[in-house]
């Protein structure tokens, strides 16, 4: 965070404020962890703080301290409107464009509050007065730690914040193995463990709570895996019918795409998940090396994210989406050659 932003934030927070901390639609571990951690910190500093998410989040994140206090827009529209309307400051965390907030987008676009953005995704939009954007960071949760540090606030780091930020850093780094994991990441993690984050327990709470249904769905997904060796690419499809057969619950498909990327020689992996209710195909893209799935998704699938992890959507049917995807690959032959 640069010194100008630090003094602007200090200025903004020098008297008690009504604050709302907002995460993105389909919140993941980093969205939930970073928002809760920041909220706990700001509350200790004397502000009135609420955490607001566009829609619900998976069961494997519900155990996180203070997660039960999160307001979910889709479940409580009236309260959400009230919070946004009364806010002096709105922190938006772990996303960089208001169109990532689903039904909250309109409300946020019309809010009178001062916006502060904290995020690590590429190419942030220009809606916030104060922007703390750093695409080299492994997670927004790590940025919240640095934010506290910049405000001389590490004395406020308690076991709840440590746990919340640990979850975000762990999930966004694939348990500290993705390239954005740095020595600083591990130093921050050491601080979180010292402050009371129970690392092994957290790992179990998030990853070792599979339902039999989820594992069966994973079986279906792996069965549907298609390899395109010519482009070092692999993709997975899941139809709505397949999701229904396996009693799909929110979060069940989290991480499936990584199995496709784990295949030797594969540099580009993608999963297409049909969502009949929303009339879209939800897409998750992952890559190894320099091939930018952020650019690919921005160009073809209304999405974005990071170089090696991005999301997107298609309004075509599942077979049409696959056909379109397959027709795009020849344009990327060189970029997809191994080790490029």
The residue ranges that bind Mn ion (CB under 5 A) are 30, 94, 140, 172
Please, which residue, 17 or 100, has the CB nearer to ligand 5GP? 100
Please, which residue, 168 or 311, has the CB nearer to ligand 5GP? 311
Phi-psi category of residue 175: left, alpha or beta, with phi > 0 → left and psi -120 to 50 → alpha: left
Residue 284 contact among ligand 5GP, Mn ion, none, beta carbon within 5 to 8 Å by kind: ligand 5GP
Residue 305 contact among ligand 5GP, Mn ion, none, beta carbon within 5 to 8 Å by kind: ligand 5GP
Shortest distance in whole angstroms from residue 306 CB to ligand 5GP: 6
Please, which residue, 86 or 250, has the CB nearer to Mn ion? 250
Phi then psi for residue 116, to 5 deg, are -120, 125
Residue 50 contact among ligand 5GP, Mn ion, none, beta carbon within 5 to 8 Å by kind: none
Shortest distance in whole angstroms from residue 100 CB to ligand 5GP: 6
Please, which residue, 17 or 24, has the CB nearer to ligand 5GP? 24
Element (H, E) at 116: strand 114-119
Sheet holding 268-275, edge to edge: 226-228, 233-238, 268-275, 280-287, 309-314, 304-305
Shortest distance in whole angstroms from residue 195 CB to ligand 5GP: 25
Where along the sequence are the contacts to ligand 5GP (CB under 6 A)?
24, 96-97, 100, 121, 284, 303-306, 309-312
Alpha helices in 56-110 (DSSP H): 77-86, 105-109
Q: Under a CB-based contact definition with an 8 Å cutoff, are residues 19 and 88 in contact?
A: yes
DSSP assignment of 151-210, as one string? Answer: TT-GGG--HHHHHHHHHHHHHHTTTTTSTT--HHHHHHHHHHHHTT--HHHHHHHHHS--
Shortest distance in whole angstroms from residue 272 CB to ligand 5GP: 11
Shortest distance in whole angstroms from residue 52 CB to Mn ion: 17
What are the Cα distances from residue 248, in Å, to 17, 75, 235? 41, 20, 20
Please, which residue, 123 or 340, has the CB nearer to Mn ion? 123
In angstroms and rounded to an integer, the radius of gyration of the C-alpha atoms of the chain is 20
CB neighbours (10 Å) of residue 278?
Answer: 11
Shortest distance in whole angstroms from residue 17 CB to Mn ion: 25
Residue 312 contact among ligand 5GP, Mn ion, none, beta carbon within 5 to 8 Å by kind: ligand 5GP
């Amino acid at each position: 965070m640069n010194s100008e932003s630090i003094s602007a934030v200090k200025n903004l927070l020098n008297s008690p404020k009504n604050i709302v901390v907002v995460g993105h639609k389909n919140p993941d571990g980093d969205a939930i962890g970073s928002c809760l951690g920041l909220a706990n910190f700001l509350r200790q500093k004397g502000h009135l703080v609420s955490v607001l998410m566009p829609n619900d989040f998976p069961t494997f994140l519900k155990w996180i301290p203070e997660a039960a206090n999160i307001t979910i827009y889709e479940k409580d529209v009236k309260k959400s409107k009230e919070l946004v309307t009364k806010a002096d400051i709105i922190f938006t965390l772990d996303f960089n464009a208001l169109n990532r907030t689903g039904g909250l987008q309109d409300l946020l676009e019309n809010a009178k509050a001062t916006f502060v953005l904290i995020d690590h995704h590429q190419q942030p939009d220009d809606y916030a007065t104060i922007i703390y954007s750093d695409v080299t960071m492994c997670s927004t949760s790590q940025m919240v730690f640095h934010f506290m540090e910049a405000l001389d606030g590490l004395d406020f780091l308690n076991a709840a914040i440590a746990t919340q930020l640990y979850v975000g850093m762990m999930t966004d780094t694939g348990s500290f193995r993705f390239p954005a994991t740095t020595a600083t990441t591990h130093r921050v993690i050491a601080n979180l463990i010292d402050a009371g984050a129970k690392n092994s327990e957290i790992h179990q709470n998030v990853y070792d709570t599979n339902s039999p249904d989820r594992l069966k769905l994973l079986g279906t997904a792996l069965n549907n895996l298609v390899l395109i060796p010519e482009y070092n690419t692999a993709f997975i499809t899941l139809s709505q019918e397949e999701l229904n057969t396996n009693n799909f619950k929110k979060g069940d498909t989290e991480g499936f795409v990584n199995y496709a990327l784990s295949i030797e020689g594969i540099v580009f992996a993608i999963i297409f998940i049909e969502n009949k209710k929303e009339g879209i195909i939800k897409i998750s893209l992952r890559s190894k090396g320099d091939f930018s799935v952020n650019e690919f998704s921005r160009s073809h699938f209304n999405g974005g994210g990071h170089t090696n992890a991005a999301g997107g959507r298609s309004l075509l049917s599942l077979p049409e989406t696959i056909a379109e995807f397959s027709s795009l690959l020849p344009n990327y032959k060189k970029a997809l050659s191994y080790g490029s």
